[in-house]
């Protein structure tokens, strides 16, 4: 490799924003000023949200997720700051138990999630397979056993996968029930509710170690018109919390074979107006989940193409069984519409990681557009237009990926150093006076 090739690779990596596996496009470029036409190829960032796939793109995604959540809480990026005074809740909806799993309780001990309807537990300390159904260990948070069932045979894998597959539908039914109850409270029908008040939300799915999805939801009550409008005075945080509680305990979703899916018993509701620190804590919490894969490894980062691939690639026995169960359930004609094969790497969860109602705040698309406009404004030279087609992934020189990850690591280190220095800096004359 000569000096010119090396310089070209460095330039390519920089232009792709230090992306590890950029998308390669090629096509005709037209210089808008001179009319000159030329063939060109370019690499654009992959925009993958998962840190194990692309450190640089996931860092950008994490920042965008932070802004998305934060602007809905306190305003910004086109959302008025008035929303900060509206009732806002942080709600966590959980999955029911599908069998006891190893866990770390607040006191440090492991008592598997207990489901009183579980007859096997009621029978005694051993399950029908002769395995102990209690665990006296104090697991460390790094313990591989965490989230794994006490008895693999007793764990209801089908139930767990199907629950994940219906979690989004269950949420849709829940938000409808919340809006219906608010309409009843206001004495109007559901259609007329938006003339009185609106409820906006952002939800993020978190895959627990036991392989079931939890939904974290930011709910905000707004007035009927533009977001600057105050909600009616009767619509307080306390009332909203009561309505959510009722809706969550009554909501259900039905499967194709008549199964009824409901939320787990654990429901957490926090009033976000109670502490200003929540306005930074909650966006950080959401952003943290946004860049994770199902289990935090590469094994479950992508769709599987065969049953054998699951058996070979996924080391964790619990994760493997969940993925295989999803794959096998797809063979049942009644369950075909769930596309469980396609979602086997998410243990059946078919929903998006982050979803929101339209008016909660800005969108990922808007944030990306703003960034692209900012970057193109900084690029010198004549504007160009072009039509491109997909040519593949990655750099021609495989060292491009290494280079990108090194550049990104250095950039992040410098950025973090700068942030620390800023926090440590003595107050300026203006601040001190
Ligand atoms: Zn990337
Ligand atoms: Zn245990
Ligand atoms: Zn058992």
CA of 289 to the centre of ligand 1 (A): 18
Could you say which ligand is closest to the alpha carbon of residue 291? 1
CA of 106 to the centre of ligand 3 (A): 26
In the numeric block, the tokens 């000569």 are attached to: 2
CA of 155 to the centre of ligand 2 (A): 15
pLDDT in the model for residue 308: 96
Residues around ion ligand 1, judged by CB within 5 A, are: 19, 45-46, 54, 57
Q: pLDDT-derived band of residue 428, with 50, 70 and 90 as boundaries?
A: low
- Show Cβ contacts of residue 278 under 8 Å, excluding neighbours closer than 6 positions: 73, 90, 270, 272
Q: Would you tell me how many other CB atoms lie within 10 Å of the CB of residue 252?
A: 15
More confident residue, 425 or 124: 425
> In the predicted model, what is the mean pLDDT of residues 155-173?
96
CA of 61 to the centre of ligand 1 (A): 10
Poorest-pLDDT segment among 49-53, 56-60, 245-249? 49-53
SS3 content of the chain, % helix, strand, coil (to 5): 40, 15, 40
d(CA 260, CA 166): 10
Strand order in the sheet with 354-356: 267-271, 88-93, 213-222, 198-207, 354-356
CA of 407 to the centre of ligand 1 (A): 13
d(CA 183, CA 76): 29
Average pLDDT, rounded, for the chain: 85
CA of 110 to the centre of ligand 3 (A): 18
CA of 240 to the centre of ligand 1 (A): 40
CA of 264 to the centre of ligand 3 (A): 22
d(CA 131, CA 136): 14
Poorest-pLDDT segment among 118-122, 138-142, 181-185? 118-122
pLDDT in the model for residue 415: 85
> In the predicted model, what is the mean pLDDT of residues 78-104?
91
Q: pLDDT-derived band of residue 116, with 50, 70 and 90 as boundaries?
A: very low
The CA-atom distances, in angstroms, between 63 and each of 57, 66, 353 are 10, 5, 15
Q: pLDDT-derived band of residue 305, with 50, 70 and 90 as boundaries?
A: very high
CA of 378 to the centre of ligand 1 (A): 21
pLDDT in the model for residue 431: 46
Q: pLDDT-derived band of residue 331, with 50, 70 and 90 as boundaries?
A: very high
Domain ranges of the chain: 3-50+379-432, 55-97+156-298, 99-154
> In the predicted model, what is the mean pLDDT of residues 271-298?
79
CA of 149 to the centre of ligand 2 (A): 9
In the numeric block, the tokens 């900060």 are attached to: 84
CA of 39 to the centre of ligand 2 (A): 61
> In the predicted model, what is the mean pLDDT of residues 340-354?
90
Could you say which ligand is closest to the alpha carbon of residue 138? 2
d(CA 143, CA 245): 34
CA of 118 to the centre of ligand 2 (A): 18
CA of 51 to the centre of ligand 2 (A): 29
CA of 366 to the centre of ligand 1 (A): 19
CA of 290 to the centre of ligand 1 (A): 15
Q: Would you tell me how many other CB atoms lie within 10 Å of the CB of residue 286?
A: 24
CA of 127 to the centre of ligand 2 (A): 15
- Token duo for residue 296: 């935090």
CA of 393 to the centre of ligand 1 (A): 10
pLDDT in the model for residue 173: 97
Could you say which ligand is closest to the alpha carbon of residue 104? 2
Residue 197 has pLDDT above 90, yes or no: yes
CA of 278 to the centre of ligand 1 (A): 30
More confident residue, 416 or 29: 416
CA of 146 to the centre of ligand 3 (A): 17
pLDDT in the model for residue 383: 60
CA of 209 to the centre of ligand 3 (A): 20
Could you say which ligand is closest to the alpha carbon of residue 118? 3
Q: Would you tell me how many other CB atoms lie within 10 Å of the CB of residue 143?
A: 15
Residue 347, CA atoms < 13 Å, CB-side half-sphere? 29
What is the per-residue pLDDT across 56-66, written as a single tens digit (0 to 9) for each?
888 888 888 88
In the numeric block, the tokens 């070979």 are attached to: 312
Per-range mean pLDDT, top range of 330-334, 367-371, 391-395: 330-334
Q: Would you tell me how many other CB atoms lie within 10 Å of the CB of residue 300?
A: 26
Strand order in the sheet with 37-44: 37-44, 23-31, 384-393
More confident residue, 32 or 242: 242
pLDDT in the model for residue 433: 36
> In the predicted model, what is the mean pLDDT of residues 182-202?
91
Residue 60: exposure state from Cβ atoms within 10 A (0-12, 13-18, ≥19)? buried
Poorest-pLDDT segment among 217-221, 258-262, 282-286, 397-401? 282-286
Could you say which ligand is closest to the alpha carbon of residue 103? 2
More confident residue, 340 or 285: 340
Q: Would you tell me how many other CB atoms lie within 10 Å of the CB of residue 123?
A: 11
More confident residue, 321 or 57: 321
Q: What is the DSSP string of 158-208?
A: HHHHHHHHHHHHHHHHHHHHHHHHHHHHHTS-GGGGGGT-EEEEEEEEEE-
CA of 341 to the centre of ligand 2 (A): 31
CA of 316 to the centre of ligand 1 (A): 27
pLDDT in the model for residue 384: 63
Residue 309 has pLDDT above 90, yes or no: yes
């Amino acid at each position: 490799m000569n000096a010119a090739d090396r310089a070209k690779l460095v330039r390519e990596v920089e232009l792709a924003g230090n992306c590890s596996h950029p998308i390669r496009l090629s096509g005709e470029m037209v210089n808008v000023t001179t009319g000159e036409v030329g063939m060109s190829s370019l690499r654009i960032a992959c925009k993958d949200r998962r840190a194990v796939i692309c450190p640089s793109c996931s860092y950008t995604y994490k920042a965008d997720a932070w802004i998305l959540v934060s602007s809905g809480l306190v305003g910004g990026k086109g959302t008025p700051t008035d929303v900060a005074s509206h009732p806002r809740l942080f709600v966590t909806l959980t999955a029911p138990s599908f069998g006891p799993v190893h866990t770390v309780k607040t006191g440090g001990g492991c008592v598997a999630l207990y489901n009183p309807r579980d007859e096997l537990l009621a029978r005694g300390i051993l399950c029908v397979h002769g395995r102990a159904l209690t665990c006296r260990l104090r697991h460390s948070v790094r313990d591989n056993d965490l989230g794994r069932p006490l008895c693999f045979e007793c764990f209801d894998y089908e139930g767990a996968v199907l629950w994940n597959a219906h979690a989004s539908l269950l949420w849709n039914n829940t938000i409808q029930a919340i809006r219906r109850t608010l309409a009843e409270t206001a004495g109007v029908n559901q259609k007329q509710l938006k003339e009185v008040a609106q409820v906006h939300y952002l939800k993020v799915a978190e895959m627990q170690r036991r392989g079931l999805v939890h939904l974290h939801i930011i709910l905000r009550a707004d007035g009927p018109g533009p977001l600057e409008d105050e909600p009616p005075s009767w619509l307080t945080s306390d009332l909203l919390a009561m309505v959510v509680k009722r809706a969550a305990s009554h909501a259900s979703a039905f499967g194709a074979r008549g199964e009824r899916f409901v939320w787990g018993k654990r429901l957490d509701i926090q009033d976000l107006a109670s502490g200003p620190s929540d306005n930074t804590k909650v966006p950080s919490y959401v952003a943290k989940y946004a860049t994770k894969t199902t289990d935090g490894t590469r094994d479950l980062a992508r769709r599987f193409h065969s049953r054998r691939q699951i058996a070979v690639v996924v080391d964790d026995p619990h994760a493997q069984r969940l993925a295989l169960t999803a794959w096998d359930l797809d063979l049942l004609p009644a369950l075909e519409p769930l596309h469980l094969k396609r979602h086997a790497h998410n243990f059946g969860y078919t929903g998006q990681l982050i979803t929101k109602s339209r008016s909660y705040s800005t969108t990922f698309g808007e944030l990306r557009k703003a960034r692209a406009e900012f970057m193109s404004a900084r690029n010198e030279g004549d504007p160009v237009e072009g039509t491109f087609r997909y040519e593949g992934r990655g750099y021609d020189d495989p060292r491009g990926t290494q280079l990108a990850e090194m550049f990104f690591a250095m950039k992040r280190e410098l950025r973090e150093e700068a942030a620390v220095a800023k926090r440590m800096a003595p107050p300026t004359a203006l601040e001190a006076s």
